[in-house]
Amino acid sequence: MDRAIWWIRRDLRLADNQALTEAIRQAKEVIPLFILDPKLINSRNNSEKRLSFLYHGLKELDADLRKLGSRLIVRRGNPAKTLAQLSAEYLIGQIFAEADFSPYARKRDTRVAALVRLELVGSLGLRHPETVIKDDGAAYIVFTPYMRAWKKHGIPGRRELLPIPERINTPDGIDSEQLPEPMGASGEMQFQPGEREANLRLERFVESKRGGIFGYGDLRNRMDSDGTSGLSPYLRFGMISARQAFAAANEAIQLATGPEDDSSAQTWLNELVWREFYISILYHFPEVGKQSFRPEMRELQWANNPDDFNAWESGATGYPTVDAGMRQLNATGWMHNRARMITASFLVKDLLVDWRLGEAYFMRQLVDGDPAANNGGWQWTAGTGTDAAPYFRIFNPILQGQKFDPDGTFIRRWVPELQTVPREYIHQPWLMPPSLQAKVGCIIGKTYPGPIVDHNQQRHLALMMYGRQ
């Protein structure tokens, strides 16, 4: 084959890229192509911060490609029409792309394959969703059996990862559009985009002597600590592959020096498997993107009070941990996972707001917003999905804050109105005597809102609502 296209979607990397490797193997010349798909770029559930991260990442990829004698080609338009036009104009023999599993991606790829020769190579996860299924061909809908079956297929080592190509031969004379200007400079972003940064983060996480993967089991839920890998935005856009993450986790497990280290590394590996599980659920049950997985939960009578929702999304509920999480999300496009569970539980089970409204809001904000993981997390919290938390599990935002942010460090960082509040009141500032409120300059109802609902009362109402189903 003389010429092929490497169609870049969610694999913005050169290392361990199966689609790119196969394109180079089969074709003398390879065109790295990214299509600005209006259906995705202009989606109402898109995030400016996520798009900015994507555009910066594409610029980083272009710079890396140029070091290999290639360059990034950018086109805008309907993918099927764009690829058909390019294939005819430049005599393309084959198009190679990494498989994607969202309902839209699968429909898009079916339309493309009807017009041009498309070969899907590799996967967003380590395994294709059709790989880990029951003996009768049914999909797993409970995580633990899925995880056991998933692990039976083995986990790759670093030696199995594909290297960066030495050179990519890309023909001259192919027009490329300019990428849209990202929002803000990359140096101002919490997550520096690009494959290089993704690899640095992974190496720091797995090689750290303190914290990192061997401290993950103890620190991952602490909102006041940097105890997670911070790799979710990079996995979202494939700036690092799932295989690279699993290989690093597997190596760390082999190097564990004791049961605590081993348990901690296993915990992180299992979190990666959760990502695979949610990809599988969305693949086998695409309807979860629009409705509760559990039929009996589809007729819940949500209150959906717009004032309550506005207070939640702006971080003005009067519950410090909830407000800190939402303000972190709004400011950075990211939220600690424990805070995600607390804020989601509060919206659904304290404010009685439909989980789909929260899911959509998160997608409009998150840098790492992923259709499978975001949906899976929200349905788990709401008790409406596969392997969901039981509906009667309702997070107490006060107790959660006291346990996972005991000194209020996370709260004070994101809710400056509470910076001077003493530790004993930081999770319930409304309990401060008026004289103390005046002394520390935090007047409840004026400087900072009082609780918009009573948690105990709302818990009772939530149990009644769910119990009717």
- Nearest Cα to Cα of residue 47 among 279, 237, 241, 271: 237
Residue 216, SS3? helix
Question: For residues 372 and 353, is the Cβ–Cβ distance under 8 A?
Answer: no
Annotated catalytic residue within 119, 274, 330, 430? 274
CB 19 within 8 A of CB 6: yes
Pairing of strands 73-76, 29-36: parallel
What DSSP element (H or E) covers 274? helix 259-284
Catalytic choice (251, 271, 330, 430): 271
* Cβ–Cβ < 8 Å for 127, 153: yes
Q: Which of 6, 312, 378, 380 is catalytic?
A: 378
| SS3 state at 232 | helix
Beta carbons of 397 and 81 less than 8 angstroms apart: no
Active-site residue flag, 274: yes
In the residue annotation, 251 being an active-site residue is answered as no
Respond yes or no: is residue 271 known to be catalytic: yes
Angstrom distance (rounded) from CA 180 to CA 248: 34
Active site residue 378: yes
Burial (CB count <10 Å: 0-12, 13-18, 19+), residue 428 = middle
Active site residue 355: yes
The span from the CA of 90 to the CA of 171, in Å, is 10
337 is catalytic: yes
Q: What 8-state DSSP symbol labels residue 168?
A: -
Catalytic one among 312, 355, 380, 414?
355
DSSP letter for each residue of 411-466:
HHHH-GGGTTS-GGGTT-GGGS-HHHHHHHT--BTTTBPPPSS-HHHHHHHHHHHH
Instruction: Give me the count of residues in the chain.
Output: 469
Which residues does the annotation mark as catalytic?
A: 271, 274, 302, 337, 355, 378
